[in-house]
Structure formats: C-alpha cells, structure tokens
Structure 1
Amino acid sequence: MEKIFTLRRASPQDAPILARIAGEAYSPYIPLMGKEPAPMGADYAGHIAQDTCFVAVLSEQVAAFAVLIQKPDGWWLETIATDPKYQRGGAGAALLARCGRFLRAEGASSYQLYTNEVMSGPYGWYLRCGFVETRRGTQDGFARIFMAKDLAQG
C-alpha cells in the first residue's frame, strides 16, 4: 500500500540520516560492483548546503531523499535513495514528482541521472518513471548507464 509522505527540503540535521539511508540502500550492490557505490561516500552535509535536497518523511522519520545538482550541462539527479524498510511504498515516486515540480519552476525542460550497470532494479524503475537511456560508459571507475527525462512528459 502506498503511503502519504511529507516532502520537504533537507536540513543540516538530516545529513547523518541521509548517509545512513544511502549506506543501507546501496550496500547490497557492493558484492556486484566490487566496491562501494558512489552515493555511500557522498558528502551529504555539503549537498544540503550547496545543492537541492528533498526528503520524504513518514511518521516523523526520514524515509528517502533525493539530491539534485545543477551542472554546466543541466540538472542532474545525483542520488535518490530509500530506507529499505520503506522501499516500494511510494517515497521514491513522490520524490521524483517533487523534483520534477522544482525543476519546471526553475525553467528546466529535462534532467539527467546515471546508475550503475549492475543495478538492474533501479534501472527498470527509472524506465518506468519516464527516463530513457542516453548512453553507457565508464566514469570515475564505475560502469554507468546515463539516462534523461523530458519534463514535458511528466
């Protein structure tokens, strides 16, 4: 059953929670990748201070988060992660919808992301959410799939 999440901007106090969620959400991929996925080592305090970070809250608990970064080539969904106990409950979809509203208000027509080739579950989810694959390549030692979403499509 899908839950109703409260969405808000992340605060500095959320940084350790985001790091914990990233660790729990991404750690199952370590054996497949042979190393920690990039979001596990991210500076979430820095992201909160410099970028656009949203959290999904349920019963006063941060259940998921998304980090948007504006780069010279446009907006990127740098990370989206859900606490495993809240996965498949609608938090990720709610965050993507919030990101879309924010980006449209910023005048963006699309945004991009990358995922790892071994992350077949997230890759399929991104496709279902309207992202399309644009290319594959190695970046920072990771085999990545690059994707984009046209905001006019929802």
Structure 2
Amino acid sequence: MKNALLMSLAMLIAPLPLAAEETSRTIRVVEGQGCECCTKWTEYLQEQGFDVTAEERFGVLLIQHKIDLGVPAEHYSCHTGQIDGYFLEGHVPAADIRRLLEERPDAAGLAVPGMPYGSPGMGPEAKREAYDVLLVRKDGSSEVFTSYPAADNI
C-alpha cells in the first residue's frame, strides 16, 4: 500500500512528457499536370524541411479538388496544398505556412492568387514582383496575411 501511494505521488510530481509536435510537417500537394512551377514549389517546400507528397491532376479534376477544399475561384493558382486542415493555394512561402500552423487562425487556408514572379517556385526572389499572401476565411472572405514588396532591383 505504501509503495502504491509513493508511486502515485511520484507520478503526480514527475514532469509530464513533452507532447509530440502538434502539427504535421507533411504537405499534400495536388499539382497541375506537367506544371514545372508546381514541381519547383514542391521542391522548395522540401528544402524548407516539410515532407511533401505530390500528385498530378488535370483540368476538371484539379478544379474540383480546389472546390472541395473551399478555395475561392478568384484565388486560384496552379496547385493546391493541404496541411493540418488548411489549404495552401499557389506559391505560398514556407514562413507563412509556419506562421499559419503556429497561430492556428479560424480559417480555411492561405492563398497566393495567380503566379507572381519571384514567389517560391516562380523565379528568383531577387527579381520578385509585389504580391500578397491572403488568409482565406471559411466563409470565403479574405484578408492580407503577409505582403511581399517588389524587390529593389527590378
């Protein structure tokens, strides 16, 4: 009985084990078929420490995937990623993905509409055109999450 009591007390005062990382590092990417910049974004994510699985879809199948995830049509790009319940539409920088996972806003995901030059996978950042990363709410509304100014040497 005494040993059981001591064991119970020891369990109460012992430090709790650290929880495993609460967010996944795996991003599932659905790419446009044969799209080189989709592949470059996937490679960029891997270089940034994410595990990436990728598959190609063409035309209607790719659009249907975006619709199923709730990506507003005005925010479409060439590929769509998913991580921890969020979508990542287009050439979203790794820093914004990490911030999304850290802050965990009540949102559907992030979007970089179109294919801005100099965004990850779209040419050198040193020649970047200005673009915004948008936080897309579950109702389809959006707001600027991060703004990236044009590079000085354009």
Specify the structure having the higher radius of gyration (Cα). 2
TM-score tier (shorter): under 0.3
TM-score relative to the length of structure 1: 0.27
Higher relative contact order (CA 8 A, sep 6+): 1
TM-score relative to the length of structure 2: 0.27
